[in-house]
Structures are given as structure tokens and as C-alpha cells.
Amino acid sequence: MATLFEKLGGAKAVDLAVDRFYERVLQDDRIKHFFADTDMATQRSHQKAFLTYAFGGTDKYDGRYMREAHKELVEKQGLNSSHFDAVAEDLMITLKEMGVSDELLAEVAAVAAAPQHKKDVLNG
């Protein structure tokens, strides 16, 4: 059975989706301030690696854990549930604009917005 990564189109599709996603995020007044001092080339690379892992494209992820990666944003910049939801919304809009089917969007949502991921990101 194909992984979600494969169903979405593999590395090429994830790369394109992440690039388009961050174009959207950086225009989103709800969340763009979190990226003001971020090296976006590095951020894109981290996100591509994470989504490749999360969607089943590899069984290895060498990046920081979500809790660690977002701890300072929660403590010093007030990252909260509404921001997490805005990021998830931007991802879903991006994928929909890329022509991803509703069936695959539901699979992405189940992974990206999983309660455990939200809890980890928000240091809950």
C-alpha cells in the first residue's frame, strides 16, 4: 500500500507544497511574525524533512522534536492554539490549490493536525 508521501507525489510534490505553503504563511497576519527572524531556506528544509517523515516518505527524522523546536515561541512569543490552527489551515489551502483531492486532504489533516502534534508544538 502506498504511503501518504507517495500518494501526494513524493519529494517533488512535498518540496513544491512547502515552498508555496511558506509563501502563504509569510503573508498571513495571524502568524507571519513568528518567522520575522527566521532563515527561511533553513526553515523550508526542516519542514520538507519533517513532512517527508510524517507522511511516510522515510522512517528517519533527524530534526529537533516539535516540543523543543517550538518551546521558545510558546514561552516568549505566545504561540497558541489559534496559531497552530492558522498554520494547519494554510497548509490545507495550499494543498487544495495544488489540486490535492479531498480524500488525501483528509489524510494530511489527520497527520498534520493530530492532537499529539498540537500538544507537542504547544508544549502542552
Query: What mean pLDDT value characterizes the chain?
Result: 94
Q: What is the pLDDT of residue 79?
A: 97
- 112 has pLDDT over 90: no
- 64 has pLDDT over 90: no
Provide the CB-side half-sphere exposure for 118 (13 A, CA): 16
- 94 has pLDDT over 90: yes
Report the b/e string of 1-32 with b at 16+ CB within 10 A.
Answer: eeebbebbbeeebbbebbebbbebbeebeebe
Grid look-up 515561541 returns 73
Whether 55 and 8 have beta carbons less than 8 Å apart is answered as: yes
Quote the pTM value: 0.92
